[in-house]
């Protein structure tokens, strides 16, 4: 494999992960604002000869189709737990705290 082919294979891997973070809400939830995401942004910027800020702005856009757009399940479940805790507290039911 030539150096150019190796660079293209590596960039394809970077692009795949960044594309998935834009289209998969579960994966997005875990990737955004991590060191891994920052390093992938930096790698793509270097490969494309663009600034990190330009790439970050483009890559932080949520590209889910409008008709199928949804929040990550872990976000929804976290909200449900908070709603349940609030309801229990409002009804005078103590929430046990693990030791």
pLDDT digits (tens, 9 = 90+) for 14-57: 999 999 999 888 898 889 889 999 999 999 999 999 999 999 99
Reported confidence tier of residue 8, pLDDT bands at 50, 70, 90: very high
Q: Which long-range contacts (CB under 8 A, 24 or more apart) does 30-34 make?
A: 32/60
Classify residue 97: in a domain, yes or no.
Answer: no
Within-domain flag for 71: yes
pLDDT the model gives residue 68: 65
Q: Tell me, what's the pLDDT at 41?
A: 97
Domain range for residue 85?
3-90
Residue 15 in any domain: the answer is yes
User: Does 98 fall in a domain?
Assistant: no
Contact 48, 55 (CB under 8 A): yes
Mean pLDDT of 67-83: 78
Residue 29 forms part of a structural domain: yes
Question: Quick check: is 58 in a domain?
Answer: yes
Say whether pTM exceeds 0.75: no
Q: Could you give the number of structural domains in the chain? A: 1
């Amino acid at each position: 494999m030539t150096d150019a082919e190796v660079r293209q294979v590596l960039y394809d891997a970077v692009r795949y992960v960044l594309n998935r973070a834009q289209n998969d809400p579960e994966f997005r939830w875990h990737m955004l604002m991590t060191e891994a995401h920052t390093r992938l942004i930096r790698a793509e910027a270097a490969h494309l000869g663009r600034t990190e800020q330009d790439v970050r702005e483009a890559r932080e856009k949520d590209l889910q189709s409008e008709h199928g757009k949804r929040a990550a399940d872990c976000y929804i479940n976290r909200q449900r737990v908070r709603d349940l805790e609030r309801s229990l507290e409002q009804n005078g039911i103590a929430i046990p705290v693990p030791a």
